[in-house]
Amino acid sequence: NLGVGLVRLGKKVLLVDADPQGSLTISLGIKNPDTIKNTLSNLMQNAIEKNYFVPHFFTFKHDEGVDFIPANIELSGIEISLVGLRERELVLKKSLKEYLPLYDYIIIDCMPSLGLMTINALAAADSVIIPTQANYLSAKGLDLLMYSIAKTKQDINPDLKIDGILLTMVDKRTRNARMIDNLLHETFSSGLHLFFSEIPASVTVQECSNEGKSIFTRGQHNKVAIAYDRFSREVEGIERKQN
């Protein structure tokens, strides 16, 4: 949804699925990722073997204007093979090097864990957006993620920065969600940017993912589409300030 939102603002966007479960790939309309031959795992294998490749060979085009590099279960095998390599944290960065001049944004979608693939994503990125649900467990997990980001910044990628925290699946009708919202604002507002935009809870988001479409296909008056449009403009505004 962020990728399509940025495309709607005139940006060229590449989405990279760095999750072996292929959740992003499925939400982009590929129902059986395990049947795809050209995926992120193949691209990273090329980087490991230092083979020449044509960037467009690994990209797919979505009807709503974003390009994407899909993933499937083979990415788990690549993550295991990274363990014994020198500079194992930099394989994804090397894999994406040829794409940098082709896009305004390359957005890497990570799995909700802190394995070697996520470290590769942090090493390749120039900034991080942290989506978190408005519940206690998600908020509690932020501390571990912050530590990993700080460690990556210290040891591997000194230019890495955090653009902000995005609250998702927000339902302010519930007391718990309101408490978590307030807790995050109190805890992080002084040190980290909390995006003004908040993504409301809605079954429509999952319906769109099942259809391989973005929330913007539900019309400009849909509350989640409005939230993602606002969020996309916030992200684009951060880029303008930095440049």
Burial 154-166 (b: 16+ CB within 10 A, else e): eebbeebebbbbb
Residue 242 pLDDT: 72
Residue 213, number of CB atoms within 10 A of its CB = 19
Q: Strands, DSSP E only, in the chain?
A: 13-18, 60-61, 67-69, 105-110, 127-133, 161-170, 194-200
Domain residues of the chain, as ranges? Answer: 1-125
End-to-end CA distance of the chain: 24
Residue 132's SS3 state is: strand
Per-residue confidence in pLDDT tens, the chain, 243 aa = 999 999 999 999 999 999 999 999 999 999 999 999 899 999 999 999 988 888 899 999 999 999 999 999 999 999 999 998 989 999 999 999 999 999 999 999 998 788 899 999 999 999 999 998 866 556 667 878 888 899 999 999 999 999 999 989 887 766 666 676 676 666 665 567 889 899 999 999 999 999 999 999 999 899 999 999 999 999 999 877 776
Q: What is the CATH number of domain 1-125?
A: 3.40.50.300
